[in-house]
Amino acid sequence: MSFAVLAWTGIYLRRRTAVHKRLIALATLAIIGPALARLSRLPAFGGEQSSFVLVVNLALVAAVIVDDVVTIRKIHLATALGVAFSLALLFAGTAIARPSRSRWFGGWSESELVLALQRDSN
């Protein structure tokens, strides 16, 4: 959703080049997550349970902010609003994606679930 909103807004405001540039850059960063998730599966990046994806995403967003500070000596309004929007959706999505285990596992502990799955596969 953040890609669609940022990209559409960036395209709509394409004549305002400073705004367009920042929104398209943030839209691009919004869709890089799946590629980073695939990379995170490699042992060199800590495996699937590592914080690799979050750290790289935040570092790339920070790079956009640093670019603003270096080039125009302040954070552009489009960057501030785009980053706030992206982070709000990122954290909302994370909260939604990690509901309580009891809801999904019917109150089973993880070890009980693993044992049940192993029994079913044999």
What the block records as the tokens of 16 is 């305002």
Residue the block writes with tokens 């807004």: 9
Would you write out the chain's pLDDT as a tens digit for each of its 122 residues? 899 999 999 999 999 999 999 999 999 999 998 899 899 888 888 877 778 888 998 899 999 999 999 999 999 999 999 999 988 887 787 777 765 544 444 555 556 656 666 666 65
Could you give the CA distance from residue 31 to residue 2 in angstroms, rounded to a whole number? 9
Q: What is the pTM of this model?
A: 0.73
Residues 6+ apart with CB under 8 A from 3: 27, 30, 31
